Amino acid sequence: MPSMSHPLTIILTTAIAAGIGYYIGKSTGLRKAEEVADLKEPTKDNGGVVDDELTAKSSAEGAEEWESDDDTGDLSSFPELTDDCKMVFVVRTDLGMTKGKIAAQCGHATLACYKAATRAVPSLVKRWETYGQTKIAVQCKGGEEELLELQAKALSLGVVARVIHDAGRTQIAAGSATVLGLGPAPRSAVDLISGHLKLL
């Protein structure tokens, strides 16, 4: 007659083997994903970003999205690359967006800037990730014109700058420029662009 510890031994052995298998599979999958990402050719990322509602609408209607190619700067021209990095969201306050709408638009800006910066300046993205992923939201009271002026200034300094356009299905007119995402970039570079703006 087998001892009482035999079923317990089988259960423990199975659980340990399953746990080890899970972690081996997970690390192998991550390595393969990195290898695939390295093999893929970089895709051209167009400028003006639209939120997912507009992308779905454009796809459904067969319309082309309007976008700019000049959204990623070259930070090699900026002298100070030793300070910490941050991402800034310049939010238009003249549109009357609710807090939830602003949060959604800043979310779009985060992803757009992160994707562009990962391709353009991966070392800065790593530094930004290592030191807390600082994100700051500031007010833009001058409308779309001021937003575009700030974007032009950012690009002249070599800072990633992405303007988000809304689909217009909830609170604001379709195609409205809602948020300008800046960075991640050195604090000193971003402050030259948005340092004068008040916190949101």
pLDDT for 112 equals 96
Is residue 99 exposed (0-12), middle (13-18) or buried (19+ Cβ within 10 Å)? exposed
Question: What are 139's strand-pairing partners?
Answer: 91
49-194 falls under which CATH superfamily?
Bit1 (3.40.1490.10)
Arithmetic mean of pLDDT, 8-37 = 53
How is the beta sheet containing 49-50 ordered, strand by strand? 49-50, 161-165, 177-186, 85-92, 135-140
Helix ranges, 43-98 (H): 52-61
Cβ atoms of residues 86 and 27 within 8 Å: no
> What pLDDT is attached to residue 22?
54
More confident residue, 40 or 178: 178
The structural domains of the chain, with segments of one domain joined by +, span: 1-40, 49-194
Return all residues near 172 (Cβ < 8 A) that are at least 6 apart.
95, 96, 97, 101, 166, 178
Most confident segment among 23-27, 58-62, 103-107, 170-174: 103-107
Is pLDDT of 10 > 90?
no
pLDDT at 181 over 60: yes
Write the burial class of residue 125 (CB in 10 Å: 0-12 exposed, 13-18 middle, 19+ buried).
buried
